[in-house]
């Protein structure tokens, strides 16, 4: 169990609701075509190591509440920060007023 999960269990927080596979995340990326939401995937050596669901709200708010990382591969590459950078760049390019990164 990862550090976050162990910490959550000690606080009596609910467990993770789902453990999606790489195929599930890839399928979402191909089917979530509505203009207010999208999925971004970060690949390294042709393997998805990070994913994020982006929601774009009409009041110029962009949020990325759901993010997944393969920590043992993503951490050395600072993939979390690469994903954050991409979201910020997207928000600036599309002239969003607010960016929210979730809890």
pLDDT of residue 39: 82
- Residues 70-86 have pLDDT tens digits of 889 999 999 989 988 99
Q: Taking all residues of the chain, what is their mean pLDDT, rounded to a whole number? A: 80
CATH code of the domain in which 72 resides: 3.40.630.30
In DSSP terms, which residues pair with 44 in a beta bridge?
47
What is the model's pTM?
0.62
Please indicate whether residue 90 or residue 25 has the higher confidence score (pLDDT). 90
Q: Does residue 6 form part of some domain?
A: no
Domain count along the chain: 1
Q: Within a 10 A sphere around the Cβ of 91, how many other Cβ atoms?
A: 21
Domain membership of residue 52 as a residue range = 22-100
**b or e along 52-87 (b: 16 or more beta carbons within 10 Å of the residue's beta carbon)?**
bbbebeeeeebbbeebbbbeeebeeeebbeebbebb
Q: Does residue 33 form part of some domain?
A: yes
């Amino acid at each position: 169990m990862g550090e976050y999960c162990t910490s959550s269990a000690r606080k009596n927080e609910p467990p993770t609701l789902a453990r999606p596979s790489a195929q599930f995340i890839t399928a979402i990326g191909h089917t979530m075509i509505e203009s207010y939401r999208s999925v971004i995937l970060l690949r390294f050596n042709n393997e998805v190591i990070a994913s994020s669901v982006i929601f774009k709200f009409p009041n110029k708010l962009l949020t990325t509440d759901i993010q997944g990382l393969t920590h043992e591969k993503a951490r050395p590459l600072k993939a979390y920060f690469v994903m954050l950078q991409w979201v910020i760049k997207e928000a600036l390019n599309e002239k969003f007023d607010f960016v929210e990164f979730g809890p």
